[in-house]
Amino acid sequence: MMTTLLVVLSLSLTILSFGGAHAATMSFKNNCPYTVWPATQTSGKKPQLSTTGFKLAPHARFKLHTPEPWNGRFWARTGCSMDSYGKFVCATADCASGQVKCNGNGAIPPVTLAEFNIPAGGGKDFYDVSLVDGFNVPMSVNPQGGTGDCKTASCPKNVNKVCPRELQKKGANGKVVACLSACVAFKKPKYCCTPPHNTPETCPPTNYSKIFSRACPNAYSYAYDDKKGTFTCKGRPNYVITFCP
C-alpha cells in the first residue's frame, strides 16, 4: 500500500511540474545527414527542463514536454566530441558546459534558435525561428493541431552558402560551418538595435539582415523583425522541431 501511494504521489508531482493537461509537447526530428546535439534553455532563471542536451542521430526522433507557463529556446549543436581533456565541445553552438547537457547555459553564436513563449491556462503560444544570433543549422517549427494561425516558422535553406566572407565561421577543414549575424560580428548599435538605434524606426533592416531574410523569409532576420518572424497558435499543438527540414 505504501509503495502504491508513493508511486501515485510521484506521478502527481510529475503532472504538476509539467503543467498538467496544458503542458506543451516538443517533438524533435533530425533530417540532417549528420548527427546533431540539441540543447534546451529555460529563460528567466526558472527551473530547466528534464533534459538540457541530448544526441540525435540522422533520422532519429526525441520527445520532450515543457511546463506552462514556459519561456525558452532550443537549438542544435554540430561537430561535437570529447576533447583531450575529457570535455564535450562542439564546432558550432557550443554551450560551454563541457557536457552533453547544457545545464542552463545558452548557445555561443552563431546559432539558429527556436524560441517559445507558452503562457499559462492554455492561452496563445508565441514561437519563432531566429537568425538574430546567426545561423548554423536549417530548422523549422511546425505546429500539428491547435487553432488560429498555427503556421510553420522555418529557415529551411543552408544560409552558409550565401554567407558573406566577413560573417563566415570556418571549421578546422576550412569549410564554412556557420554564419554570424552582423550584430555578433561587428557589435555596432545599428546592427544590434541598441541605443541610439533601439527602436524600429532607428534600426531598420540592413544589407546583412536582408541576406538572412531572403534566404529564410519565415524566420527572424534581426531584432525588430516581429511582423514577419513571430507566429502564434492556440490549443497546445504538438510542436515538431525539425533540423534540416
Beta partners for 176? 170
Q: How confident is the model at residue 86 (pLDDT cuts 50, 70, 90)?
A: very high
3-state secondary structure of 178: strand
Domains and their CATH numbers in the chain: 18-243 (2.60.110.10)
Helix ranges, the chain (H): 2-17, 182-186, 189-192, 207-215, 226-229
- CB atoms closer than 10 angstroms to residue 27: 15
pLDDT > 90? residue 10? no
pLDDT of residue 22: 58
Give the range among 83-87, 99-103, 182-186, 238-242 with minimum mean pLDDT: 83-87
Instruction: Give the tens place of pLDDT for each residue, 181-212.
Output: 999 999 999 999 999 999 999 999 999 999 99
Instruction: Give the tens place of pLDDT for each residue, 15-35.
Output: 333 444 457 899 999 999 999
Q: How confident is the model at residue 8 (pLDDT cuts 50, 70, 90)?
A: very low
Could you tell me how far CA 17 lies from the centroid of its own chain?
Answer: 22
Share above pLDDT 90 across residues of the chain, in percent, rounded to a whole number: 83
Task: Compute the half-sphere exposure of residue 193: CA atoms within 13 Å on the CB side of its CA.
Answer: 16
**Full-model pTM:** 0.89
pLDDT of residue 16: 34
CA distance linking residue 203 with residue 205, whole number of Å:
7
CA distance linking residue 133 with residue 187, whole number of Å:
12
pLDDT > 80? residue 4? no
